Amino acid sequence: MIPIELVLGFAALLFCTGLYGMMTTNKALVALMCVELMLNSANINFIAFAAYDVFADATIGNIFVLMSIAIAAAEVAVGLALILNVYKIKGTSSTDDLTTMRW
């Protein structure tokens, strides 16, 4: 079995990739995908701790991941709907142009 450090390192890498992408992109869809990446890296952490029996009750980790995935799906649905509507109103989905909601 591969050591848990590798799994956690992979999850951290995935999180940083999503973070980097979100901080640099100007495309709303890409930002949404990066959020998904970060969420999934967190899920991997749950799974890893559950699989390696770090805590007494492994089932909580598994159940939590299922719930997280479900919420992520709902979140993506809301996010996509928002982006779609913004695109319909403004004719763009670039976050560089969507700067009026300030002050």
Binding site for other proteins (CB under 8 A): 19, 22-26, 28, 31, 95-96, 98-103
Measured from the Cβ of residue 11, the count of other Cβ atoms closer than 10 Å reads 20
- Structure-block tokens of residue 39: 């969420």
Closer of 72 and 86 to other proteins (Cβ): 86
Report, in Å, the least distance between residue 14 CB and other proteins. 16
Given a contact cutoff of 8 angstroms between Cβ atoms, the answer to whether 23 and 63 are in contact is: no
In degrees, rounded to 5, the angle at the alpha carbon of residue 21 between the alpha carbons of residues 100 and 35 is: 80
Report, in Å, the least distance between residue 68 CB and other proteins. 19
Closer of 30 and 47 to other proteins (Cβ): 30
Report, in Å, the least distance between residue 77 CB and other proteins. 19
Closer of 19 and 72 to other proteins (Cβ): 19
Sign of CA dihedral 31, 37, 40, 44: negative
